[in-house]
Amino acid sequence: MTTTKLSGRDLFAQRTSNVLGELEQSGQLKKLQMIEGPMDAEITLRDYGTVACFCSNNYLGLANHPDVVEAGIEGLQRYGAGTASVRFICGTFQAHEDLERTIAEFLDVEAAYTFVSCWTATEAMFPTVCEAGDLIVSDELNHACIIDAMRLTAGIKKGVKRTVYRHSDMDSLDTVLSEARKDPDVTGVIWVITDGVFSMEGDIAKLPEIRALCDEHGAMLCVDDSHGTGVMGETGRGTHEHRGMSGRDVDLFTGTLGKALGGGAGGYLAGSSAAIELIVQRARPTLFSNALPATVACSARKAIETLMNEPQRVAKLRENVAYARRGIRDAGFEVLESPTAICPIIIGDTAKAIAWSNRLLELGVFVIGFGFPVVPEGTARLRVQISAGHGPEHMDRLIDALKTLKAEVG
Ligand SMILES: *Cc1c(COP(=O)(O)O)cnc(C)c1O
């Protein structure tokens, strides 16, 4: 008997076409908008012309700030296009040292180390700091990079356990930590990890309560503050500042340079000098993957310095957030309550969220609709993101477009 097997090429072509066909049919196929020119409060889309942008992470309006751009150009001229090496061979430049010192100062911790993304930083952290007998405890709504880094750690280091607690539920966290203390397999360090600001809900981690539970149960606290850094707290230090804590109350930070801090790219790990030295010596992404390009490091450092010198940007962002949230409600939409720059309008149905975001684009406002599987089934939403770079004219355009939409859909 002979069985005819499809070749790998044919099988892959068939499988891929099935997946893409299903996405198309269920209205979930994403269309990438082409942007001509820089990221800013107003951007030019190839298919829609000039629109007000309410879906970037450019929270402080620094992505196209003249000083940030100029620092990148100077960095390019001084250091060339890239490092052509990993950090420990010959890829560490003055620009990295300067940036890492600035990040550590900004967060008030001993040291920091940069990566090409926060995703990479997170995948560098857990597999390096964890050993057999350790347990990683994660909020169930943590960012995808944390979920993947936990899986990766369990795959690389046998005997590392992982579990989740219900979103921002301190009873659930307490229960998980109490049980862990009784688990004979958990003989090592317990790591609790949470987003500072949750990207889809726009709500804020209860850091003081989490810190207290960590202390009670002898656990380490890691915070990924990618949406909180530059946004939360009086001077934009992040979620810990908003909650009245110091950077030293967090054992390890991960964060991105691709959002409020200039928006270029890159991520970092920050904490004690010893923890960072361990990362330098042992983390696979630092040993086997190229450094952050020096030009990007120069822009990011300038962005952080600009933020430190101009804390009024954070105040402007806060004012804008309050204005926009009021306006969204006046337009007849419910927005999840929180002081963060993420304003989710819950729609429910995924296809509806996508159709409405398309309609807003026609009205000159760029807001993205998110549905399953990015958010739980039945909670599709429009996610409006506010920036300090928005003027009243941009926010009024958003509010007017929402009013028009409301009149059309009832
Ligand atoms: C955006 C985000 C990331 C990814 O950051 P990159 O630097 O783009 O990899 C990681 N964690 C959280 C919580 C984020 O919001």
Convert the pLDDT of each residue in 304-314 to its tens digit: 999 999 999 99
Element spanning 394, H or E: helix 392-409
Q: pLDDT at position 296, please?
A: 97
Q: pLDDT at position 375, please?
A: 86
For residue 28, pLDDT beyond 80: no
The residue among 98, 136, 147, 131 whose CA lies nearest residue 278 is 131
Residues 286 and 315 both lie in one domain: no
What is the share, in percent, of the chain residues with pLDDT greater than 90? 90
Q: pLDDT at position 30, please?
A: 83
Contact 138, 146 (CB under 8 A): yes
Q: pLDDT at position 364, please?
A: 97
Answer whether residue 45 is part of any domain.
Answer: yes
Mean pLDDT (the chain) is 95
Numbers of helices and strands, H then E, in the chain: 14, 14
What is the domain count for the chain? 2
Answer whether residue 2 is part of any domain.
Answer: no
Which is the catalytic residue, given 161, 242, 259, 302?
259
The residue among 361, 337, 386 whose CA lies nearest residue 56 is 386
Residues 46 and 138 both lie in one domain: no
Whether the pTM exceeds 0.85: the reply is: yes
Confidence at 2, pLDDT banded by 50, 70, 90: low
Confidence at 1, pLDDT banded by 50, 70, 90: low
Q: Which tokens go with 78?
A: 């001084």
Q: pLDDT at position 4, please?
A: 75
Residues 35 and 126 both lie in one domain: no
Last residue of a domain, one of 287, 309, 331: 309
294: burial class by Cβ within 10 Å (0-12, 13-18, 19+)? buried
Residue-wise over 114-131: b if at least 16 C-beta within 10 A, else e? bbbbbbbbbbbbbbbbbe
Greater confidence, 364 or 410? 364
Distance CA 132, CA 128 (A): 11
Q: pLDDT at position 371, please?
A: 87
Residues 232 and 354 both lie in one domain: no
What is the share, in percent, of the chain residues with pLDDT greater than 70? 99
* CB of 43 sitting under 6 A from ligand 1: no
CATH code at 146?
A: 3.40.640.10
Mean pLDDT of 286-303: 96
The residue among 206, 231, 248 whose CA lies nearest residue 107 is 248
Ligand 1 atom nearest to CA at 195: 13
Residues 153 and 244 both lie in one domain: yes
Residues 252 and 270 both lie in one domain: yes
Distance CA 382, CA 298 (A): 34
Contact 317, 231 (CB under 8 A): yes
Q: Whose CA is nearest to atom 12 of ligand 1?
A: 226
Q: pLDDT at position 263, please?
A: 86
CATH code at 321?
A: 3.90.1150.10
* CB of 238 sitting under 6 A from ligand 1: no
For residue 269, pLDDT beyond 80: yes
Ligand 1 atom nearest to CA at 117: 7
Convert the pLDDT of each residue in 316-365 to its tens digit: 999 999 999 999 999 999 998 889 999 999 999 888 998 999 999 999 99
Separation of 307 CA from ligand 1 center, angstroms?
Answer: 20
For residue 35, pLDDT beyond 90: yes
Last residue of a domain, one of 309, 329, 344: 309
Answer whether residue 4 is part of any domain.
Answer: no
Residues 44 and 109 both lie in one domain: no
Q: Is the peptide bond before 339 cis (omega within 30 degrees of 0)?
A: no
Residues 101 and 193 both lie in one domain: yes
Answer whether residue 374 is part of any domain.
Answer: yes
Query: Which domain range does residue 382 map to?
Result: 28-57+311-409
Residues 33 and 107 both lie in one domain: no
Last residue of a domain, one of 270, 285, 309: 309
Tell me the residue type at 249: D
Q: pLDDT at position 3, please?
A: 67
